[in-house]
Amino acid sequence: MLHVRRVQQFWLASTTASLTSFVYVVAHTLLSHVCGVMFAVECVELITAAMILSD
């Protein structure tokens, strides 16, 4: 019976670890994507401002 409990604990630990890493990867990807989009918007605004100023 003790062996089953050990297996359950190990399974729970590995599942928790993989879920945590999955959530981390998803969050990291979303954050970098959002930052990339915001950076692109900033670039577009800068280019637009430069074009308006050069006119």
Confidence of residue 1 (pLDDT cuts 50, 70, 90): low
d(Cα 23, Cα 15) in Å, to the nearest integer? 12
Q: State the average pLDDT over residues 24-49.
A: 93
> Which domain, by its residues, includes 3?
1-55
Q: What's the pLDDT at 19?
A: 93
Per-residue pLDDT reduced to its tens digit, 8-25? 999 999 999 999 999 999
What's the number of domains the chain is made of? 1
Give the CA distances from residue 35 to residues 3, 4, 20, 32, in Å, rounded to whole numbers and listed in that order.
Answer: 48, 46, 22, 5
